[in-house]
Amino acid sequence: MNGPFPAGDRRPSVRSRLAGALAAPGGALLLLRAFLGVTFVFAGLQKLANPDFLSTTAAGSFRQQLRGSIITSPLHHLLDPVLHAPVFFAVLIALGEIAVGLGTLLGLLGRLAATGGALLSLSFFLTVSFRDSPYYYGADIVFLFAWTPFVLGGSGAWSLDGVYARRAERARAALSDATPGGEPTKRQSAATKQRAAQIERRMFLQKTMAAGLVGFSGATLGALVSAIGRFLHTAPRSGTAGPLGAGGTPATSSGGTAASTTTATTATVAPAPTGTGTTTVPPATTSAPTGPVPKGTRIGSAVDVPVGGAATFTDPAQQVPALVVQTRKGQFRAFSAVCPHAGCTVQFDGTNNVFACPCHGSLFNAATGAVLQGPAPTGLAPIPVALGPNGQLYVDG
């Protein structure tokens, strides 16, 4: 016999090995396993690479998503304590996703990794996706059920778990071959048991060391990606909304000019229904800049809102972020900036004249607040706004 194969035997071809792997337990799920593994590693790295996600103040941060989720999630009592350490939990979730993804890809501690993946998907479903309607529009519930074959059956073919299982099997077979035939003595039985326990311990140790190595590699990769993300993080693009002040620096716009107090007209906007996401805001009514100062809370000077641009303010009634836009010269509309999907703060995109949610990509019409693209189920809540003869903007509250 020359080499590992008997004379006349041929090494199995890649095709037959692939067919064998597909026929093995879990083989038919290889593609799904690869998808879940890659997706979870990518999701974890993406979170770490985004400094905004780990920030405590930025739009689209984990903290902000959490605050939005608390409003709608059935787990809101459990989420309150998480708000006290949002960065810690954000990093924990990202590292958890990377660990689950790597464990799934390598098939190392596959059941444990799949259980972790299922728990993460369940928690995302009960928080971020809970308001998705119908329920199957959200991806998290699909991920949750995609994990179940691996929770129940382990990694299956082409996995490190399989390699370790075969090694242990061979060691146990060698042990039973070495055991003399006939009725073993008490001493022989004890020695066999001890040897079998040693094999189990050795396999456990090897698996733990491999898991430690993979965990260390995942954490190092995460730290590296996070550092690169911070390094490459750029300032906000032009065309975004600046804060509304009392006559401060005008916000940047998509090309319009700031409204002048000398030419200002009073614009009032009636609230639009928000139930369908396809409703429109009734046309703004305008009147001469005379008469009494409007009722409500002054939010800032109209000159801070460029024509075709937007500015941010805090809605005094709800104490949440809000946006005011000047759709035409002298015509203002204001909306809550809280995304109806999971509560992130939407941003004004002056280039496309939309409000964009940084968390899951919902887009809203900048003039009406209506949904242009989900997953947000409804439009942005309008806030009645009026321009006073003094050039100041006023809202209810």
Judged by CB under 6 A, which of 341, 383, 394, 395 binds ligand FES? 341
Which lies closer to ligand FES via its Cβ, residue 110 or residue 375? Answer: 375
Closest of 249, 397, 387 to residue 315, by C-alpha: 397
What burial letters (b/e) apply to 149-188, b meaning 16+ CB within 10 Å? Answer: bbbeebbbbbbbbbbbeeebeebeeeeeeeeeeeeeeeee
* 3-state secondary structure at position 71: helix
Among the residue ranges 37-45, 151-159, 355-363, 385-393, the one whose residues contact ligand FES (CB under 6 A): 355-363
Residue 67 within binding range of ligand FES, rule CB under 6 A: no
Binding to ligand FES, residues 360-389 (CB under 6 A): 360-362, 375-376
* 245: amino acid identity, one letter: G
CB of 127 to ligand FES, least distance (A): 11
Which residue, 41 or 371, has its beta carbon nearer to ligand FES?
A: 371
By the rule CB under 6 A, 342 interacts with ligand FES: yes
Please name the residue that has the structure tokens 């093995």: 24
Site for ligand FES in 200-259 (CB under 6 A): none
User: Between residues 287 and 318, which has the closer beta carbon with respect to ligand FES?
Assistant: 318
# residues contacting ligand FES (CB under 6 A) = 13
Residue 356 interacting with ligand FES (CB under 6 A): no
Radius of gyration of the CA atoms of the chain, in A: 30
SS (H, E, C) 143-168: HHHHCHHHHHHCCCCCCHHHHHHHHH
Give the nearer residue to ligand FES in terms of CB position, either 107 or 277.
Answer: 277
157, 357, 366, 372: which one binds ligand FES (CB under 6 A): 357
Q: Rule CB under 6 A: is residue 168 a binding residue for ligand FES?
A: no
- 255 φψ region: left (φ > 0), alpha (ψ -120 to 50), beta (else): left
Q: Which stretch binds ligand FES (CB under 6 A): 26-34, 184-192, 211-219, 353-361?
A: 353-361
From candidates 267, 311, 359, 387, binder to ligand FES by CB under 6 A:
359
Contacts of 39 (CB under 8 A, 6+ apart): 101
The contacts of residue 93 (CB under 8 Å, 6+ apart) are 44, 47, 62, 120
* Footprint of ligand FES (CB under 6 A): 68, 339, 341-344, 357, 359-362, 375-376
